Amino acid sequence: MSNSGNKKSAKQIMEEKQAEMEAELARLQAAVQQEEEEERKRLEAEKQKAIEETHQRLLERARLQKEKAREAAMAAQGSGAPGMPEKSCSTCTSKKRVCVWTEAVANTRVKTCDTCCKLKDKCAGGNPAGRAMDAKSKGKKRDRGEGTPSPKGKGKRCQRSPDMDIEEISNPRTIIGEEEHWAEYDYQAWVAAANSIVAELARTNGLLERSIVAAESSRAAMERSSDAMVRFVEEQRAFQALLLESVRGGSGGPAEEKSGEGSGEEEEGETGAGDVEMGA
């Protein structure tokens, strides 16, 4: 009875140990999964932070470039544009042409330009000779209606010839009375901004690549640790099986020894009885 009790207790102990080891393995696997999830969240947060920092730097750089461009424009307006002739309506009215500023007003940059506004005011209100010429030309036009034969034209109708040298503002970046290097400066600023954006994107890509490499290395380390844990559990199970077999073999040994001792005693008793009979 004691031997069977010992066997049962040893088996129960082995089962309990095996259950504990399986629970420990499950806990380790859960810890590994939790660590992987935390690593993924951390990498995602770092990526988002890097993108936000890049966006903020680009916005700040664009703002500084706009301020520099505005300061350069104000400095150029204060110093004036040497070598550029001032445009006035006196030339247009003396040659019966349409004023250039009438078409220039449609341009937004001309409207907001201080130099252009000054030139327009000077052209419109600072030349009485031009206004007189304009009034005189208008008076001549009122003498005969448009389309009637001209006395000098010998029966030809009055036609308005197209002005070949009227300044047209088709390019939105053209500014009347100012130098062309402003537009070139704007182009250079945009090129510099594009280059800075490309550089920031390349740096962000490098950070992401390093983060991916670190995540892959950590995942490989976790996989190696999981494999090692599985091997450890398998070795423990094999050890438990061997231990259980050894326990079972040890419990059967003493019973066999006792049965051997009993048979020896019986043989000795039979031998003694034979000796007694022979003596008789």
Same domain, 96 and 170: yes
Report if residue 268 sits inside a domain: no
Q: Six-digit token pair at 202?
A: 């390349």
Domain boundary among 177, 207, 232: 177
Report if residue 92 sits inside a domain: yes
User: For the chain, how many structural domains are there in total?
Assistant: 2
Same domain, 98 and 146: yes
Same domain, 23 and 153: no
Nearest to 221 by CA among 39, 60, 98, 44: 39
Same domain, 20 and 154: no
Q: What is the pLDDT of residue 9?
A: 74
Same domain, 110 and 170: yes
Query: pTM here?
Result: 0.27
Report if residue 74 sits inside a domain: yes
CA distances from 141 to 96, 129, 134, 158, 196 (A): 11, 18, 11, 10, 61
Report if residue 228 sits inside a domain: yes
Tell me which residues of the chain have a pLDDT lower than 50.
1-2, 4-5, 80-88, 125-136, 138-140, 163-184, 253-259, 266, 271-280
Domain boundary among 177, 205, 234: 177
The parent domain of residue 128 ranges over 85-177
Same domain, 124 and 110: yes
Same domain, 194 and 77: yes
Report if residue 262 sits inside a domain: no
Report if residue 190 sits inside a domain: yes
Domain boundary among 131, 148, 177: 177
Same domain, 171 and 211: no
Report if residue 269 sits inside a domain: no
Same domain, 79 and 194: yes
Report if residue 4 sits inside a domain: no
Same domain, 26 and 136: no
Same domain, 62 and 35: yes
Same domain, 43 and 151: no
